[in-house]
Amino acid sequence: MRVKTFRGENMAAALSQIRQELGKEAVILGSQTVREDGRSLCEVMAALEHPGQTPAASPPPRPAKPANGSARSSGNGSSAKTAAAQANTTSNNPGEADWNREWGEIKGHLLALMRPRMDLAALTPRQRLALEYLEREGVDEAAILALYRAIIERGEDTVIPALSRIVRVKPLTPECWPDTAHMFLGPSGVGKTTVLLRLALDTRRRTPGCRVVVVNADAGRGKGRLLLRHYAELSGLTYAEVDSQEDFGRILDGATAGDAVFVDTPSLARDGALAAWYAEMGLAGRSGLAAHLVLSPLFSNIQAAHYLRAGRCEHLSSLIWTKLDEACNYGSLVNMAHASSLPVSALTFGPDLTGGMEAASGKAVWKLLFKHQLPGEYPFADAGA
Ligand SMILES: Nc1nc2c(ncn2[C@@H]2O[C@H](COP(=O)(O)OP(=O)(O)OP(=O)(O)O)[C@@H](O)[C@H]2O)c(=O)[nH]1
Ligand SMILES: [Mg+2]
């Protein structure tokens, strides 16, 4: 890796030098305002991971294809957010993959143009440090820009209030989700069934009179069915299997107030698979049902954005983060909160059914992000923090 410091009259001038010398693959490591001969200069430290990739070695820019809707606005005025959401796609279709790569390049240029608008001098040293830290933690440029704007808009001293507006939490507890049946969406092996069982067992432990129903709507998978049935029998949970609209309707309509219903779903494979399953199960327009997208920081941003797109449905209400114990950075919690506008509802940090899971809290998220501390590693995760 080649690391070099550049100085310019402002951020734009420094970035232009970086682009010229290191090319567009350069990564910004940090920036600060310095004084030289009585002048205030912007100093930016940049790195090139593979020094062979100098501008001369980079491929020439490709003409942008005016793809239908690919660069359209998200409607909320956040072009950076749109860029991230649109760019973070993956496909098996070679044409689409090319376009995704092209759009990734366009996004890079757009963000490079927007970035100079981040007047780092408007931030306090602590805020700058926090943003630089988050960047190293894997928070993407779109989320960093949103955070910067959120800080500047309110003139707050610390970064946490602005971060809290981007990464919202809604703990997965009966108090916060009354009269709700829960279903868990996500890629294969992410921990959907484990989350479901933990919640079911926890609900039974906390509210002894409550009827806890675990529903297997993933009839195609024998292993998952056996696991669910096994634990249901061992733990006195009510077990049901559904593979038709009628079955599903019967379970949901049959649940009375105070019952807790948890539904295991087929894993999200391709875009559109969920819509087909929804139609088959007749879930459109159902009330009292919340879907939670289960993700892990082990996925790349592109992969996570793919699952967000594949898991979008009318009931999607929160993000659950699993396998936190196996991850080494947590920037994707911020990226996906920003890209989805969904709150985080639960965190898991171990493979066992006992322990290893907590309802989300601000404190737990900040400790993960800033200290790499898992919820189980400190005494109390304050849900109100
Ligand atoms: N380390 C660690 N392992 C976990 C965590 N959550 C689940 N696991 C493990 O991940 C594996 C897969 O978990 P499952 O709950 O079966 O995942 P799933 O999403 O239901 O998988 P499919 O039904 O095959 O799509 C199991 O071995 C779990 O013990 C976690 O937070 N940390
Ligand atoms: Mg499963």
Cα–Cα distance measured from residue 225 to residue 131, given in angstroms and rounded to the nearest whole number: 45
Strand partners, 185: 293
Ligand 1 nearest atom to the CA of residue 267, by list position: 25
Give the pLDDT of residue 265: 92
How far does residue 204's CA lie from ligand 1's centre (Å)? 21
The rounded Å distance from CA 187 to ligand 2 centre is: 9
Residue type, 75: G
pLDDT at residue number 220: 66
How many whole angstroms separate alpha carbon 147 and alpha carbon 129? Answer: 13
Which residues, including other chains, have CB under 8 Å from residue 341's CB and lie 6 or more apart? none
Higher pLDDT, 62 or 129: 129
Alpha carbon of 241 to those of 165, 221, 249, 262: distances in Å? 39, 12, 12, 12
Does 203 sit in the ligand 1 pocket, CB within 6 Å? no
Contact 27, 46 (CB under 8 A): yes
Which ligand sits nearest to residue 187's alpha carbon? 1
For residue 77, the SS3 value is coil
Percent helix, strand and coil across the chain, each to the nearest 5: 45, 20, 40
Cα Dmax for the chain: 78
Residue 319 has which token pair? 């993000």
Question: Ligand 1 atom closest to Cα of 190?
Answer: 19
pLDDT digits (tens, 9 = 90+) for 99-115: 666 666 666 666 666 56
Percent of all residues in the chain with a pLDDT value above 70, rounded to a whole number: 78
187-234 tens-digit pLDDT: 999 999 999 999 999 999 988 888 999 999 876 665 556 788 888 999
The reported pLDDT for the residue numbered 319 is 98
Tell whether ligand 1 has an atom less than 6 A from the beta carbon of residue 355: no
Per DSSP, helices labelled H in the chain are: 11-22, 79-87, 94-114, 125-136, 141-154, 160-166, 192-206, 222-235, 245-254, 273-281, 301-311, 331-340, 362-371
How many A from CA of 306 to the centre of ligand 2?
19
Section 349-367 average pLDDT: 94
Task: Check residue 87 and give its pLDDT.
Answer: 36
Contact 45, 3 (CB under 8 A): yes
Q: What predicted TM-score, i.e. pTM, was given to this entire model?
A: 0.73
Above 70 in pLDDT, residue 53?
Answer: no
Check if the beta carbon of residue 339 is closer than 8 Å to that of residue 370.
no
Q: Return the amino acid letter for 64.
A: A
* Ligand number nearest to the C-alpha of 186: 1
Q: Please tell me if the CB atom of residue 191 comes closer than 6 angstroms to any atom of ligand 1.
A: yes
**CB 322 less than 6 A from any atom of ligand 1:** yes
- Find out whether 296 and 323 touch, Cβ atoms under 8 Å: yes
Mean pLDDT of 141-164: 90
